[in-house]
């Protein structure tokens, strides 16, 4: 592991805790964790940054998923099916990633996100309550193929905001409330993060000592965020969702401007 000052270790651990909280509530913790690692470890190769990020994130995501499953009405089997499809989709996306410029994707994603933000603001009832009655088989298939495969493909191809997109898509397709959608998204994230981490570990691009320390804080943040979302309900998640969406748009706009 490279030499890192005590101050920087503390900063990275605090960033990991905050990222775990954000990711547990509505997804998008990587928007904080990945830049923190890039800034804190400027001389470390990008592959090691990405591998360490996944090793930290999967711990917090798993803790949040367990917390949600124990207290929220989550269909674990459906979530795992969507997660396995997302895992396959992310591998396919990663395969095509080298041939597509992120400079082309950023503006498209920004427009989509602004449309999402407008929809959420103009539809106050979106994600507040779960629709009554069982969800049709067709909607489950749509969730597996489009939400799992499509967003998984995006995760492998580009990545930023995957957790947030999962929450929004699961709410829209399966008529889940935002809390249950966040819980389901965490299970899907565990599947995709596990696949990515296995590849990074195989390639030897994980700083395990630093990741283990940061993971403790990420786990605490993730479990605290999940409990807060369960306690405060969908309206709280909706507010955090809008903040994360606008933050993601700002980050993508900055990246596009400096590219």
Picking from 26, 2, 14, 23, the residue whose alpha carbon sits closest to that of residue 233 is 26
| CA distances to 106, 159, 174, 251 from 247, in Å | 14, 15, 26, 6
- pLDDT 10s digits, 25-68: 877 787 788 888 888 888 888 788 888 988 998 999 999 999 99
Q: What's the chain's length in residues?
A: 259
Structure tokens that stand for 231 in this block: 């306690």
End-to-end CA distance of the chain: 30
Give per-residue pLDDT as tens, 144-198: 998 899 988 887 776 667 788 888 888 888 888 888 888 899 899 888 888 888 8
CB atoms within 10 A of CB 49: 19
Q: What angle do CA 8, 13, 14 make, to 5 degrees?
A: 100
């Amino acid at each position: 592991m490279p030499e890192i000052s005590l101050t920087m270790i503390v900063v990275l651990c605090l960033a990991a805790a905050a990222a775990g909280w954000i990711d547990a509530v509505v997804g998008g913790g990587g928007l904080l964790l990945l830049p923190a690692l890039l800034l804190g470890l400027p001389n470390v190769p990008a592959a090691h940054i990405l591998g360490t990020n996944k090793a930290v994130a999967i711990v917090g995501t798993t803790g949040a998923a367990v917390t949600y499953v124990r207290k929220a009405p989550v269909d674990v089997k459906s979530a795992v099916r969507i997660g396995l499809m997302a895992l396959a989709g992310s591998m396919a996306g990663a395969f095509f990633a080298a041939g597509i410029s992120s400079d082309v994707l950023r503006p498209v994603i920004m427009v989509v996100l602004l449309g999402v933000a407008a929809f959420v603001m103009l539809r106050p009832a979106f994600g507040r309550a779960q629709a009554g009655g069982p969800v049709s088989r067709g909607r489950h298939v749509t969730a597996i193929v489009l939400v799992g495969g499509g967003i998984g493909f995006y995760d492998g191809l580009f990545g930023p905001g995957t957790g947030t997109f999962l929450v929004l898509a699961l709410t829209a397709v399966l008529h889940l409330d935002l809390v249950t959608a966040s819980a389901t998204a965490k299970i899907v994230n565990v599947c995709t993060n596990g696949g990515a981490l296995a590849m990074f570990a195989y390639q030897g691009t994980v700083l395990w000592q630093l990741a283990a320390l940061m993971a403790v804080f990420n786990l605490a943040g993730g479990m605290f965020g999940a409990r807060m979302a369960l306690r405060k309900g969908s309206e709280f998640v909706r507010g955090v969702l809008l903040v994360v969406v606008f933050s993601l748009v700002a980050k993508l706009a900055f990246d596009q401007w400096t590219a």
